Amino acid sequence: MSVRRDMSGGACVGAVITAFNPDHHLLEACRSVMHQVDATVVVDDGSGAPNEAVLDMCRELGAVVSRHTTNRGIGAALNTGVRVARERLGGSGTYILTLDQDSLVPAGYVDALVAAERAATSAGQSVGMVGPERAQGIRSAAARSVGGILHSREPIQSGLLIPTATFDAIGVFADNLFIDGVDSEFFLRATTRGRSAIVARGAKLGHHLGREHVVSVGGRPLALGARRLSLVHAADYRYYYIARNRVILLRRYARTAPAWSIGAVLRDLRHLAVTTAFVPGRWNRLSNTVVGLRDGLRGIDGPRPGADRSSAAPGQPRRR
């Protein structure tokens, strides 16, 4: 168990970092967070080629490393980490911080999120989760102010501080979704049950979004001023899970969260249209999307039937 430099008035925090085929970024993530929390748990989600040296160095730093023998997806990895972290903290654990292996936590980050949660609770608001105001490459999460407390649009999973009371009230992450949509489902389940997503003003998270494609016409990169125009997209296989799990979530939450549902569909359509127009590999993405929509309508969940899961990483870069 690591030792925090600032106990934030007695708050006890465990960090959960999910990993798949980790490299040096995982070690950097551990180093960035360990002295801000009371326990750090790394969950290797059945890596096809685990980097034992990196995992050993995480252990040397003081992290607990838990291993899945097979790739079980982001939801299962998070749930294993939450369980192990709470066991390590015993009855004193009050918060869990979830992180991807390629996120970096700046100094004072955890204390800022704890302070935001306590301010909201003191104002009589029920807090389900707290996220940063900004993550690298993503617009501000701030949506509106309620009684002086900044509420959030749907936050990304990485860098999210979750009171253990939230898990006790609504349960853990939906591991049947496997990859994409796990964070969306948790957000919807919390907010539709009266637990708000809160923003920690000024908090920023270092985070890698996904694959980047530089848009070009006639072999020449397009530019906006001095910056090249680029688009962030996911691996082709992920579009199956994006489409399938979106259908599952719409069937579950369209009535209780209609605004979210409409916005999510519009964002997905916009992203698919833009990547189809400008990013190579369009037919693979479109075919994965079609199969995902079909399986979503059939109610199929879990890992894709018959798919090779050796490349299915637990991190889930978000498109904003």
Residue keyed to tokens 């903290």 = 89
The answer to whether residue 3 scores a pLDDT higher than 90 is: no
**pLDDT band at residue 91 under the 50/70/90 scheme:** confident
The CATH number of residue 130's host domain is 3.90.550.10
Q: In what order do the strands lie in the sheet with 13-19?
A: 64-68, 39-45, 13-19, 95-100, 160-163, 127-135, 196-205, 149-152, 142-146
Could you say which of 163, 190, 205 is where a domain stops? 205
- Please state the rounded mean pLDDT for residues 168-193: 97
As a whole number of angstroms, the distance between CA 77 and CA 42 comes to 9
Domain that holds residue 169: 8-205
| Same domain membership, residue 224 and residue 201 | no
Residue 181 CA: distances (Å) to CA of 176, 177, 235? 10, 7, 15
Q: What is the predicted pLDDT for the residue at 142?
A: 82
As a whole number of angstroms, the distance between CA 127 and CA 11 comes to 15
pLDDT in tens, 183-205: 999 999 999 999 999 999 999 99
**pLDDT band at residue 92 under the 50/70/90 scheme:** confident
The number of distinct structural domains making up the chain is 2
pLDDT in tens, 49-60: 768 999 999 999
Q: Which has the minimum average pLDDT: 201-205, 212-216, 235-239?
A: 212-216
| Same domain membership, residue 110 and residue 57 | yes
Q: What is the predicted pLDDT for the residue at 49?
A: 76
| Same domain membership, residue 262 and residue 169 | no
pLDDT in tens, 253-268: 999 999 999 999 999 9
| Same domain membership, residue 201 and residue 258 | no
Q: Which two tokens stand for residue 268?
A: 């997905």
Q: Is 174 helix (H, G, I), strand (E, B) or coil?
A: coil
The answer to whether residue 310 scores a pLDDT higher than 60 is: no
* Best CA proximity match to 134, nearest among 114, 152, 111, 116: 152
**pLDDT band at residue 93 under the 50/70/90 scheme:** confident
The answer to whether residue 298 scores a pLDDT higher than 60 is: yes
Q: What is the predicted pLDDT for the residue at 212?
A: 58
* Best CA proximity match to 141, nearest among 153, 159, 130: 153
The answer to whether residue 316 scores a pLDDT higher than 50 is: no
The residues that bridge with 132 in the sheet, in sequence order, are 200
Could you say which of 145, 175, 205 is where a domain stops? 205
The average confidence (pLDDT) of the chain is 88
| Same domain membership, residue 103 and residue 40 | yes
As a whole number of angstroms, the distance between CA 72 and CA 307 comes to 13
Q: Which has the minimum average pLDDT: 92-96, 122-126, 191-195, 235-239?
A: 92-96
As a whole number of angstroms, the distance between CA 123 and CA 77 comes to 34
Q: What is the predicted pLDDT for the residue at 302?
A: 96
As a whole number of angstroms, the distance between CA 24 and CA 104 comes to 12
Residue 262 Cα to chain centre, angstroms:
21
End-to-end CA distance of the chain: 36
Q: What is the predicted pLDDT for the residue at 320?
A: 32
Q: Is 3 a domain residue? A: no
Q: What is the predicted pLDDT for the residue at 199?
A: 95
Q: Taking a C-beta distance cutoff of 8 angstroms, is the pair 49, 22 a contact?
A: no
| Same domain membership, residue 30 and residue 68 | yes
Q: Is 316 a domain residue? A: no
Q: Is 1 a domain residue? A: no
As a whole number of angstroms, the distance between CA 167 and CA 179 comes to 19
| Same domain membership, residue 201 and residue 218 | no
Could you say which of 205, 229, 253 is where a domain stops? 205
